[in-house]
Structure 1
Amino acid sequence: MSTTRTPAVTTPRRGSLRATAPLMGWRTVDLLTVAFLGAALGIAYWGWGLAYEAPAKGLAAVFPPLQGITGAPWLVAGVVGGLVVRRPGAALACEVVAAVVSMLPGTQWGAATLVSGILQGLGAEIGFLLLGYGAFGLGAALLAGALAAPLEALYEWQVYWTDWGMGYKVVYALILTAAGAVVAGGIGWLLTRALAGAGALGAFPAGQEARESRAV
């Protein structure tokens, strides 16, 4: 009788892992991670605030609503917060922390930065809410990135683009939404995967997913 055992075959996981129950039961590591991610991305936001003007002017010279493309990088934090922590409020909290941190060195937008952070975070949060906080793949990231844009666009209509006609405003909102999906959603998803692959998210579902993918 043979004693040779057939190696177990690991079946790749289908779907995303949810956060540990209860979903509203935030752990200390969740709070600290949102604060860390928001702070790091807030510094990046501040840097983009210094660099975005040249590309924005170039796009505006072609077609003013194209400036919506340069607004997309400011939507990343909500996507990353939601993908990593996977609890209600994580996307909003991460985006708000990033907005506050980006304000600290001083920005040309002042307190409006915080308003934008709240609106962008709410939009990303709605994306994860629509999926029942149960899907966190690329599709979820694209949805959250896209939905981070509309509320911000409506706000900007009233504050920054007051001299535009409604046609330009609508096109701007559509461009910002599309760019939010591709830029914020795409970068957010890639950044989360990179952090998980590097072992930085071992306490989170994304880290477990990365470990399982390596074991297959």
Structure 2
Amino acid sequence: MTAKWRLSEIIVLSVLAVVFAVVYLAFFQVGNIMVGIMGPIGYEFIFGIWFIVSIIAAYILRKPGAAFLSETIAGIIEVLIGNAVGPMLIISAMIQGAGAEAVFAASRYKRWGLWVLMFAGMGSAVTSFIWGYFISGYGALDPAYVTLMFVIRLASGAILAGLLGKWLSDGLYQTGVLNSYAIARDKKKASYGRAS
């Protein structure tokens, strides 16, 4: 794997970031409704959706920095198109992207199975929860409630970011539009290995 980025990879990363910035903004409204109904824990059930671009970009491109960059760019675009949180959201996006990136780095950017993607989603859940604990005042809540919030966010990161991210990426791969990217190269190698 080379760390050098091709123009086509930069374009794919940027397109994914723009698309998911719009998705993130839409889910912000869904989260607000859920919090209105359930209290602070309402966000936790869907929190993993805000990590998904880091999983998809890294899984498709398989390059150091893809998770962090895609999440950061998505955060910047989300602010530019009108997220009410403002520039603080960019820091949150960077922290989320760093959580996923750390898991991919720990695998030396060589393992791309479902479990790694789910752990990457959970990595984002951990870093984002630590950040949220301090800026959102979780310390004022009952510790058992905060623990439950954390467990739900971990599960959401694993399922909505890791599992769903893999499923969406594999579906996109099946269309043939990703044939010139690392995901296709690695899948072809794996296929050839099974056939021989």
Is the radius of gyration larger for structure 1 or structure 2? 1
Structure with more of its chain in helix, by fraction:
2
Aligned residue in 2 for 1:97: 73
The answer to whether the aligner puts 1:47 opposite 2:23 as a matched pair is no
TM-score by length of 2: 0.88
How do 1:99-138 and structure 2 match up within 5 A?
Answer: 99-138=75-114
Deviation at 1:209, TM superposition (A): 5.0
User: Number of residue pairs matched?
Assistant: 192
Aligned residue in 2 for 1:194: 171
TM-score by length of 1: 0.80
Structure 1 contact 125–144 (Cα < 8 Å) conserved: yes
Structure 1 contact 66–175 (Cα < 8 Å) conserved: no
Aligned residue in 2 for 1:10: none
Structure 2 contact 46–160 (Cα < 8 Å) conserved: no
Deviation at 1:202, TM superposition (A): 1.2
Aligned residue in 2 for 1:185: 162
Deviation at 1:166, TM superposition (A): 3.9
Equivalent pairs: percent with the same residue? 22
What SS does the aligned partner of 1:50 have? helix
How far apart are the structure 2 equivalents of 1:107 and 1:94?
A: 17
The answer to whether the aligner puts 1:34 opposite 2:13 as a matched pair is yes
What SS does the aligned partner of 1:149 have? helix
The answer to whether the aligner puts 1:150 opposite 2:132 as a matched pair is no
Alpha carbon RMSD of aligned pairs, Å?
A: 2.2
Deviation at 1:50, TM superposition (A): 2.2
What SS does the aligned partner of 2:152 have? helix
Can you list the C-alpha shifts for 1:3-60, whole angstroms capped at 9, x where unaligned?
xxxxxxxxxxxxxxxxxx33x2222222111111111111111111122222233333
How far apart are the structure 1 equivalents of 2:69 and 2:57?
A: 8
Q: Where does structure 1 lack aligned partners over 5 or more consecutive residues?
A: 1-20
Deviation at 1:136, TM superposition (A): 1.0
Deviation at 1:184, TM superposition (A): 0.9
How far apart are the structure 1 equivalents of 2:97 and 2:117?
A: 13
Tell me: CA distance 1:35–1:153, structure 2 relative to 1, closer, same or farther (3 Å): same
Structure 1 contact 56–70 (Cα < 8 Å) conserved: no
